[in-house]
Amino acid sequence: MHRIFARSSVALVSAVALAGAALAPASAQEPTPNLISGGNPPAGWIADPQLFGNFFGPLNVGAPQGTVIADSGFRPYPHGFPIPNWGDAQSFINSQLIFGTPSRLSFEAYEKGEVAPPAPLNALSLRRTFGDGVCRDPKTIDPKTGDCELIFGAELLAQSIETGATGGHCFGFAAAAAGLYNGQIPANQVGASGLGVNIANPMGNPAVQTITRLYGAQYFNQSVVAALEGFSPTEVVNTLIRDLQGGTAPYILTVINSEGGHGITPFAVLDRGEGIYDIAVYDNNFPMRARAVTVDTNDDTFTYTSAINPSAPGIEWSTETQSNIGLVSVADMLEPQTCPVCLGPDQGTLVTISPLKADNVEQIGIGLIDPSGQPLDPSTYRALSPLNPPTKAQITQPVIIIDPSVGEFGIVVNTEDLPSKQSLELYAISNGEAQYVLLDELASNSSTIFGVGGPEGIAFTSDAPSSPRILQLSDQPGVSFDVNGHPLDLPAGVEVQQQWNTDRERIEYRSNAKKALRWNIQIGGLDNSGGQEYVGLNVRVPAGAKIVVDYTNASATVPPKAWVRDADGNRKPITLQPVTEQLVNEYRDELYVSKGPGEARTD
């Protein structure tokens, strides 16, 4: 059998780890209450200052100093959000327990599991971010709710955004708070009162949707790329002095180095004298506080000391620590972004990788290879570090954008001794199609390759035993299809291929195994008349044989034809059964269940 990818010769390179040492607290300074609340909190302190002080320290720690020379009028109280930046669902639930938002959660309800995690991205949020091309048929958009039937690629895109955001939503917080203050985002999109009192935001689904979608927008905007490459700190100060005079907060300030990145909201500039300036920022990891980014224009340097997440170690971003500082236009982030999955010209392939556990990250190397197993030409792709703070538990991986000229490539994952169990999700998303693989557990001291875009279809191989779950999506005008393959108990060194010919409406599942394998397969489609998923469970495939599925005449009531074809051309029919709720309940661990954006998952 033709081998799609040669064994990788890429050496193990550790993923970037967040291991910032704990920082000493900033020296106490005279408080600057007007830079926190304007000196006159509307309706008093709606949020309890003492409660926030217990978690985030006194108001004067890290506060800006000097004479205010540029002021947008934004204040962390009341224009910031009432909870800190959250990462995974548990940290969002913790805010309900501690701060009482989005609803007060009792210990009794918490212990019983009666909790409300953040809702997944919905169709309206995806439309606001990427346009109506995420809808299978834009003519069917509900005029009241803005809802639509999403193309399958948009569902997978939403899932990849939410997976990446489990490290934190700081960029979304920074953009949403500024956009609301500037009047660029209607209050109802964020769930605010409409009176500028964002601190009273109940943090329900409108806030969750807006913050999460704006977090995801950073992947697709060129101004973010420029900011991450870095500006002159003096240029940043001069730009803010010029542009903060107009009563708006027009920028997100970004800081990034090898340990991680952060997105915060700059709202004023203070002159400390002798060429030194403090940029007053709303840091969404520290609600109701004004913090200072200090810039020395004499030598064009900057320093910002903070924890990149309230639950993470402290970190210093500075010129000395080889950090970059930049500005991103809020207006640019609120415009519809380039859609990487919508039908249209090929814009390349977006590769995203699920976060890695912090104790495993130094033992895992991820790279790109060409079909010969050599490293992919670096000029054909770029890697972006998302501005969401890693936590003590996990490290977010870069997003990789591969040039359309690259038709075939592989994602290689090498491991050494892993201290703890590590699952892994890999996404390769392009216009009109997408590929995805899930490994429930990466093996220590192994090399795994996920091949994308080759003439033989998707390829997977590992030199350790595995059980990959492989998904392909195709969105075409008026119809969407998904194809799933799950080789059970795949031996080490065996390569499997999932070849899908959309023109012939035929799928082949095959391997170079020397003994029989068991497969679960699943095929589904959706058009204007509805859709249906069909599944074949525990299909035995002898050595040298393959599974063939023909869905030419399939419909919501007629299953695709499927058979096992051996090396001699003999066929053995496979009965594909419709996926029903009863079947899902009975075989939950064997089926790919798609419930909507962000919930599509292999259970």
Which tens digits make up the pLDDT trace of 452-504? Answer: 987 668 999 999 999 999 999 888 887 888 999 999 999 999 999 999 998 89
The predicted pLDDT at position 456 comes to 67
Least confident range from 186-200, 422-436, 570-584: namely 186-200
Give the integer Cα–Cα distance in Å for 409 and 378.
12
Nearest to 362, CA basis, from 322, 407, 420: 420
pLDDT at 11 over 80: no
Question: Which contiguous run of DSSP H or E holds residue 586?
Answer: helix 581-586
pLDDT at 391 over 80: no
Least confident range from 8-17, 170-179, 466-475: namely 8-17
pLDDT at 278 over 80: yes
DSSP type of residue 113 = T
Report which of residues 277 and 13 the model is more confident about: 277
The predicted pLDDT at position 315 comes to 82
The predicted pLDDT at position 111 comes to 80
Nearest to 4, CA basis, from 449, 352, 425: 449
pTM of the model: 0.79
Q: Which pair of tokens denotes residue 259?
A: 């340990």
Give the integer Cα–Cα distance in Å for 169 and 173.
6
- Arithmetic mean of pLDDT over the chain: 84
Provide the b/e sequence for 397-416 (b: ≥16 CB within 10 Å): bbbbbbeeebeebbbbbbbe
Best-predicted range by mean pLDDT among 265-269, 358-362, 378-382? 265-269
pLDDT at 247 over 50: yes
| Residue 434 CA: distances (Å) to CA of 155, 160, 480, 526, 591 | 10, 11, 12, 16, 19
Q: Which pair of tokens denotes residue 315?
A: 């970190």
Least confident range from 53-57, 308-312, 445-449, 538-542: namely 308-312
Q: How confident is the model at residue 259 (pLDDT cuts 50, 70, 90)?
A: confident
Using an 8 Å Cβ cutoff, are 225 and 219 in contact? no
pLDDT tens-digit series, residues 24-68: 233 334 444 478 776 555 455 556 667 777 777 777 778 899 999
Helix extents (H) in 38-151: 49-56, 76-79, 89-99, 107-111, 123-130
- Partner residues linked to 278 by β-bridges: 270, 294
DSSP type of residue 378 = G
The predicted pLDDT at position 15 comes to 31
- 3 state SS of 422: coil
Nearest to 293, CA basis, from 383, 361, 233: 233
Give the integer Cα–Cα distance in Å for 303 and 293.
6
What are the backbone dihedrals phi and psi of residue 460, each rounded to the nearest 5 degrees, phi first? -145, 135
DSSP type of residue 494 = -
Q: 514: Cβ–Cβ under 8 A, 6 or more apart, which residues?
A: 543
pLDDT tens-digit series, residues 294-353: 999 999 999 998 754 445 557 889 999 999 999 999 999 999 998 988 888 878 898 989
Chain centroid to Cα 242, Å, comes to: 34
Burial of 433 per CB tally in 10 Å (0-12, 13-18, 19+): buried
- Residues 244-259: what's their mean pLDDT? 91
Residue with tokens 């840091």: 283
The predicted pLDDT at position 47 comes to 60
Q: How confident is the model at residue 272 (pLDDT cuts 50, 70, 90)?
A: very high
How is the chain split into domains, by residue range?
478-603
Give the integer Cα–Cα distance in Å for 39 and 48.
16
The predicted pLDDT at position 17 comes to 24
pLDDT tens-digit series, residues 91-109: 888 887 787 765 666 778 7
Q: 132: Cβ–Cβ under 8 A, 6 or more apart, which residues?
A: 138, 141, 148
The predicted pLDDT at position 79 comes to 92
Give the integer Cα–Cα distance in Å for 68 and 57.
24
Q: What percent of the chain has pLDDT over 70?
A: 85
The predicted pLDDT at position 109 comes to 78
Q: 344: Cβ–Cβ under 8 A, 6 or more apart, which residues?
A: 133, 431, 432
| Residue 574 CA: distances (Å) to CA of 130, 277, 540, 542, 552 | 40, 72, 10, 14, 16
Q: How confident is the model at residue 389 (pLDDT cuts 50, 70, 90)?
A: low
Burial of 273 per CB tally in 10 Å (0-12, 13-18, 19+): exposed
The predicted pLDDT at position 113 comes to 78
Nearest 10 degrees: CA dihedral of 151, 155, 156, 157?
90
Q: What percent of the chain has pLDDT over 90?
A: 55
Angle at 55 between CA 35 and CA 271, to 5 degrees: 25
The predicted pLDDT at position 1 comes to 39
- Partner residues linked to 428 by β-bridges: 351, 435
What is the per-residue DSSP string for 244-297? GGGSS--EEEEEEETTEEEEEEEEEEEEEETTEEEEEEE-TTSTT--EEEEEET
The predicted pLDDT at position 392 comes to 63
- 3 state SS of 83: coil
Provide the b/e sequence for 161-176 (b: ≥16 CB within 10 Å): bbbbbbbbbbbbbbbb
The predicted pLDDT at position 22 comes to 24
- Residues 505-514: what's their mean pLDDT? 95
The predicted pLDDT at position 120 comes to 92
pLDDT at 593 over 60: no
Chain centroid to Cα 549, Å, comes to: 33
Give the integer Cα–Cα distance in Å for 221 and 240.
21
- Residues 511-528: what's their mean pLDDT? 90
